[in-house]
Structures are given as structure tokens and as C-alpha cells.
């Protein structure tokens, strides 16, 4: 009897470790992003004063800035200058193995909490759906590197793990996720899906369309805000989509705020529906995308991965992905 119990125990353990057929969670390998070699610093450009561009290289993309170069903030208004740039401040990783912190050198944080591993699930039509876990970091790299001393227009802090989807039951359940995004039901129709084609074109030539907030450009749909992807289009494309979803989820939960535009001059503000045009991303793992494509190495949300994702995924050690997020920042310097 004891032997039967022992066999049952080890059988359950093997199933728990290896998961179902198609399980992707086999390794936990990574590295901390080197701020010198793995971050594309030209992504902070352009820098603007009011509506005028003061510094740019290779025509980096930008969104509209407050037109007036003079600004004021506070009850007793303090006068300052309206500055705009793209701040490297957040970091997202998309992983196969639960609690695998790729951006912390492949640290396995597993506290013993059961959580689903990543998986590919083939269907009868020859396509596959997929699921991944994701992590959200605060990474105000300009501050902790002291790139600019005494500059008030940047977030102060350190590299820190802010969110784990493994402990979020909404990330693994389409129905539970409706608590955060009930509008997903409205956009689950062919017309809304077809509209995302226009978002893809816009993102590939510039920035995606903020009016189509349910679209993720060429990656598909931002909704639902969970880790299930109906059509797996490769690791780079899928991880870019989940990076958008997790960032949108942070906004919906009021854990990420808006920092751009006229409203952002005097500080952050609530932005429960993410403005897709306020972010650019740069791949930092497994292969840091620092080779400039047309003079650029960061991409607006939704841009097709055909232009920048080729050769960035490889077996075993190159199937987890991490991205540096550059967010648009406008502030009143002098306030």
C-alpha cells in the first residue's frame, strides 16, 4: 500500500513539474540588462521645448507636446519650461516558467504557490494558442545611473519587481478578467477585429491609433487583459502583445499613470485606459535590440515584428523575452 502511495506521489510530482503536452516551462535563464550595452539610449529622443524639437537623431518618432514653452504649476503658480522626452522607466518580461525572473539573471523565485506554466495548445486547423506569465518592473535607469544630476523631470527610485502575474488569478482566466475589462465583450466581434488592421498600418508607419484602444496594432487585441493568446505568432510577437496587455492592465488597476501631454506638466494623473502612443519598447533579452533599423532601435506599441523581430528568438535559452519601456514624459522644469 505504501508503495502504491509512493508511485502516486511521484507521478503527481512529474505531472506538476512537466505539465501537459506542449508545456514550454523547461528552463530559467536570463541576465540583468546591462545599461551600457543592452539599452538603446537614442530612444529618449526627441527632446522638446514646448512644441519645438530641440534634439533628435535619425528622426525618432514623437507625439504632440504642449505648444507653449512656458508653463506654471501649483496653487501659487511657479513658472517653468515645458520639457518633453521619452523616459526609460519600466521593464516587462514575458516568461515560460512561473516565478522565473529573467531580468534578475534567471533567478527562480518560486515560493511554492501553484501557478500555470506557459504552454502551446495546437488546434485542428494547424494553429496554436499560447499562454505566458509576465512580470512588471520599475526601472528608472536614468536616476539610479545618475545620468543627469539634479534634473527634476525623471522618476526617482531603483530597479524593483512591481507585479507578478503568477499571483493574479485574473491573468489565467478569460472570464475573471472581465472584472477589469467588461468592454471586452463589446469588441469580440468581426467588425472590431477588422478595425485593428488600420491600427497595424498606423503603428508600422508611426504610432498606433489611440481611438482604437482595444487594438494592439499588428499583434492583435489588447483585450482581454490576460495571458492567453488565441493565435501564437512566434515568441517575439506574442511577448510584445503581452507586454502591451500587462501595461494596459497596470493602467486599468491604477498602478500605472499618465505622465504626458498638458495634463502631465505638473505631475502624473490617472489614466485607466492606456494611451498606446505614450510608450515605446526595446527588446533587451534574449538579444538586445541595439542594432539600429533605419537609425532606430525602439518601436511604438503595435509595430509589426517583421521589421525588427527577425533572429531574436532561438531554442531553449532564447524563448523568454524582456523589454525596456520608454514612456512619454512632459513636465514643467522649474516648478
pLDDT band for position 12 (cuts 50, 70, 90): very low
pLDDT score at 57: 83
Does 295 score more than 80 pLDDT? no
pLDDT score at 195: 92
Domain total in the chain = 1
Structural domain of 218: 2-333
CB 277 within 8 A of CB 258: no
CA distance 194 to 103: 36
CA distance 134 to 171: 9
Give bridge partners of residue 287 from the DSSP assignment.
none
Does 209 score more than 50 pLDDT? yes
**Among residues 52, 54, 82, 68, which one has the least CA distance to residue 266?**
82
Stretch 288-308: mean pLDDT: 85
H or E element that contains 251: helix 235-252
CA distance 54 to 49: 6
Distant-in-sequence, close-in-space partners of 158: CB < 8 Å, separation ≥ 6: 138, 140, 144
pLDDT score at 278: 97
Give bridge partners of residue 137 from the DSSP assignment.
91, 161
* Among the ranges given (141-145, 200-204, 223-227, 245-249), the one the predictor scored with the smallest mean pLDDT: 141-145
Stretch 252-267: mean pLDDT: 95
- Cα Rg of the chain, angstroms: 21
Segment 54-99, tens digit of pLDDT? 989 878 999 999 999 999 987 777 789 999 999 999 999 999 999 9
Segment 27-63, tens digit of pLDDT? 788 999 998 889 999 999 999 999 999 989 878 999 9
Return phi, psi of residue 119, to 5°: -160, 150
| Cα dihedral 52/56/62/65 (nearest 10) | -20
pTM assigned to the model = 0.88
Average model confidence (pLDDT) for the chain? 87
Q: Which grid coordinates belong to 88? A: 526609460
Amino acid at each position: 500500500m505504501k508503495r502504491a502511495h509512493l508511485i502516486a506521489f511521484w507521478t503527481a510530482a512529474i505531472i506538476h513539474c512537466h505539465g501537459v503536452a506542449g508545456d514550454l516551462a523547461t528552463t530559467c535563464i536570463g541576465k540583468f540588462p546591462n545599461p551600457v550595452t543592452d539599452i538603446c539610449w537614442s530612444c529618449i529622443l526627441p527632446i522638446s521645448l514646448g512644441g519645438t524639437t530641440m534634439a533628435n537623431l535619425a528622426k525618432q518618432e514623437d507625439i504632440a507636446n504642449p505648444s507653449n514653452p512656458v508653463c506654471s504649476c501649483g496653487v501659487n503658480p511657479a513658472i517653468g519650461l515645458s520639457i518633453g522626452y521619452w523616459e526609460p522607466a519600466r521593464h516587462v518580461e514575458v516568461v515560460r516558467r512561473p516565478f522565473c525572473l529573467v531580468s534578475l539573471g534567471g533567478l527562480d523565485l518560486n515560493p511554492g504557490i501553484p501557478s500555470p506554466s506557459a504552454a502551446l495548445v495546437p488546434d485542428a486547423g494547424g494553429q496554436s494558442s499560447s499562454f505566458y506569465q509576465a512580470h512588471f518592473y520599475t526601472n528608472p535607469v536614468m536616476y539610479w545611473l545618475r545620468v543627469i544630476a539634479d534634473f527634476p523631470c525623471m522618476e526617482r527610485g531603483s530597479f524593483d519587481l512591481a507585479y507578478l502575474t503568477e499571483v493574479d488569478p485574473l491573468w489565467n482566466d478569460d472570464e475573471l478578467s472581465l472584472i477589469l475589462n467588461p468592454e471586452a465583450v463589446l469588441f469580440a466581434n468581426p467588425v472590431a477585429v477588422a478595425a485593428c488592421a488600420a491600427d497595424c498600418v498606423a503603428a508600422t508607419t508611426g504610432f498606433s491609433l489611440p481611438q482604437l484602444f482595444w487594438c494592439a496594432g499588428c499583434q492583435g487585441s489588447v483585450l482581454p487583459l490576460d495571458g492567453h493568446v488565441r493565435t501564437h505568432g512566434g515568441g517575439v510577437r506574442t511577448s510584445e502583445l503581452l507586454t502591451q496587455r500587462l501595461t494596459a492592465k497596470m493602467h486599468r488597476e491604477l498602478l500605472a499613470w499618465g505622465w504626458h501631454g498638458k495634463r502631465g506638466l505638473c505631475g502624473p494623473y490617472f489614466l485607466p485606459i492606456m494611451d498606446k502612443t505614450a510608450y515605446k519598447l526595446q527588446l533587451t533579452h534574449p538579444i538586445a535590440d541595439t542594432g539600429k533599423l533605419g537609425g532606430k532601435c525602439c518601436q511604438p506599441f503595435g509595430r509589426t515584428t517583421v521589421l525588427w523581430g527577425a533572429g531574436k528568438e532561438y531554442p531553449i535559452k532564447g524563448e523568454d523575452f524582456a523589454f525596456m519601456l520608454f514612456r512619454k514624459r512632459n513636465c514643467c522644469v522649474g516648478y
